[in-house]
A and B are shown apart, each in its own frame.
Chain A
Amino acid sequence: MDVLDLARTQFAVTGSLHFLFVVLTLGLAPLVAIMHTRWAMSGKPVHEGMTRFWGQIYVINYALGIVTGLVMEFQFGLSWSGLSHYAGDVFGAPLAMETLVAFFLESTFLGLWIFGWSRLPRWAHLACIWLVTLTAYASAFYIMVANSFLQNPAGAVVRGDRMELTDFGALLTNQTLVFAFPHVIGAGLFTGGMVLVGASAYRLRRRAQEVEFFSRSLRMGVVTAAIGILLTMGFGYAQFAGVPEGKFGSHNVAAAVPLGFMIEFGQLLGLVVLFVMLPMIAILPRARWTHPILIAMTPLPFVLSILGWMAREIGRQPWMIWERLTVADALSPGLTAGMVTTSLIGFGAVLGLLAIVDYVLIARVIRRGPHALDLGATAREEPPTPAMSY
């Protein structure tokens, strides 16, 4: 592989890893916020339990979202300085908005939500998780604004040897953005819903004691997944109106294949969710024979999400910015294969291992069920520690 392929692989690996965690964050954030709202209004233990259990999964998942996101952000300067040289005046604005406003607030409010448990007033604590959700969606929006600019450089003109921003409004109403953003949000909700379904099915299959807890969660998951897949499919097809000719043609098989797989399997999964799971929603929690199938379906939304990004990003090749700047020209001048190989191995190994650990920890929370959760734990739940340990 030459240096260009290596740099592209590095971005693809960290980007895909990042999105695996982001897509679940986008789906779980509003669900946890809804659970927390119910808890705040009713004060019922089952709602508190749901908030803490699914909140803990959300928060553990969030850890990898952060660290992979950091590596993503800095890679623009490390490997693709040609992009900021040529279009930084345009592309930099949405990226700055994402980091400076959206993520800054999201992280601050998440810290308040996690550590403010039983310390913040009830409604202020609830406000935190809704603010986290709102800013997470704002983050996703600005990232999609930046990405859509690469797909279709609207709102900017080439002046000299650089691009200049002329119309920020056009950046926000980019035809490759208006359908892609709800498509991504739909994919997030679908993923979050299917994780609720799969994990609840696992608990119910194991004849866990918390039947009401996981029956509720499973039904909530099915409804969310149905809304999510409907949004994903609807806005997915709507996107084709804005796809430039030849993007997925025969000369770009590497983009057409993931696209084809995503559409076929997405459609099939959509039919299952909308015409089998949704009508059966009342009996699913008791229909034990369905549970292994529901568990087995959990990874599928993640696979489809990655395929979707592959289609969008490989479909853009060989352009970094469609018909303006090629990826080869966007590469940092002077970057060597040795440099990228070393960093690719470093990022791949460390982030890959951390991702595996993260998934094992999430699986462990699901296996142990809603007992002895760390999120929102108070001193009285701590098992007494022997005095010897100090």
Chain B
Amino acid sequence: MEVIWFAVFTVLLAGYFALEGFDLGVGLLLPVLGRTRGNRDRMVAAMAPYVLANEVWLVAVAGTMFGVYPLLEGEVLFGLYPLVVAMLLCWALRDAGLWFRRRLDGSAWRGFWDAAIAFGSLGLSVGWGMALYAAATGFEASPVHPLGLMLGMVVTLLFAFHGWTFLGWRTPGVFGVTRPGRVLLVSGLVAALPALGVLGGAMPYLLEHSAPAATLNVLSVMVLPVAPIMLGAQIWVWRTFRPGKDAFRLPSFF
């Protein structure tokens, strides 16, 4: 049972990196590729239908951590207190930017929230690298270590590349690249590598610190039957918004 839940936890965290990775990547590229308002609208519209379905993977990670690794949950989050607070604020800003950017028309309004998206995406990407570094050292080292910052840069670059690949898949040619779906799959895997590496190293520790059998049984009975529905919903999103003649529809709600 511990192994099944470790696998679920791994899939969720790796899934978050592979999926939300391209949303953050597009956010990072907003000031780079989106020099005009029209281009920024296209970039956001390209990722908009996926964001809600992607970011919940991290919410699920946190929930699983509470249910399956209750002893660890406090240690991880508390051990990284300032970093987690900063990342949460970045996440809130990024989301607010998406929801608010098109609610008013003024260019100052749009510019402000577009900047919030880019800034929030940057903060989250760098923060993830730093958090993974701290996790790899068993929360012994401070995340503000040159190596932590370097891993932050690596994750940021991976996400930016993944976001660029996503744009090439969903809006072929618009931003200078055309990418088939399999390349997107590969860049998603690459984006998830840092998370997979750290989780692989932590596997023996995590297995040992799982919740007792009674709790895992309850979670399994409640969650596993719903898992196909969750997977189905995700597939439904990808089928509905697959690239075609109106891959991104303007105006988009975000």
- How many Å lie between the Cα of A144 and that of B233 in the bound state? 25
- How many Å lie between the Cα of A98 and that of B64 in the bound state? 10
Answer whether residue A209 sits at the interface, using C-beta atoms and an 8 A cutoff: no
- How many Å lie between the Cα of A88 and that of B72 in the bound state? 10
Residue in B77, B99, B230 whose CB lies within 8 Å of A74: B77
- Residues A93 and B218 in contact, CB atoms below 8 Å apart: yes
Residue in A67, A85, A95 whose CB lies within 8 Å of B96: A67
A385 / chain B contacts, CB cutoff of 8 Å: 38
Residue in B85, B218, B230 whose CB lies within 8 Å of A346: B85
- Residues A389 and B63 in contact, CB atoms below 8 Å apart: no
CB-contacts of B203-226 with A (<8 A): 211-212, 214-215, 218-219, 222-223, 226
Residues of B participating in the A interface, judged by any CB pair closer than 8 Å: 36-39, 48-53, 55-57, 59-60, 62-68, 70-71, 73-78, 81-82, 84-85, 88-89, 91-93, 95-96, 99-100, 102-104, 211-212, 214-215, 218-219, 222-223, 226, 229-230, 233-234, 236-237, 240-241, 249-253
CB-contacts of A313-354 with B (<8 A): 332, 334-335, 339, 342-343, 346-347, 350-351, 354
- How many Å lie between the Cα of A3 and that of B250 in the bound state? 49
Mostly, the A contact residues are helix
| Given known A73-B62, A104-B230, A114-B253, contact A96–B89 (CB-CB < 8 A) | no
* Nearest chain B CB to A378 CB, angstrom units: 8
Residue of B nearest to A349 (CB): B89
Residue of B nearest to A340 (CB): B81
| Given known A108-B56, A120-B240, contact A77–B66 (CB-CB < 8 A) | yes
- How many Å lie between the Cα of A131 and that of B138 in the bound state? 41
Residue in B56, B96, B212, B240 whose CB lies within 8 Å of A89: B212
B84 / chain A contacts, CB cutoff of 8 Å: 74, 77-78
- Residues B82 and A85 in contact, CB atoms below 8 Å apart: no
A79 / chain B contacts, CB cutoff of 8 Å: 78
The segment from A162-170, A179-187, A189-197 that touches chain B is A162-170
* Nearest chain A CB to B226 CB, angstrom units: 5
* Nearest chain A CB to B59 CB, angstrom units: 5
- Residues B50 and A89 in contact, CB atoms below 8 Å apart: no
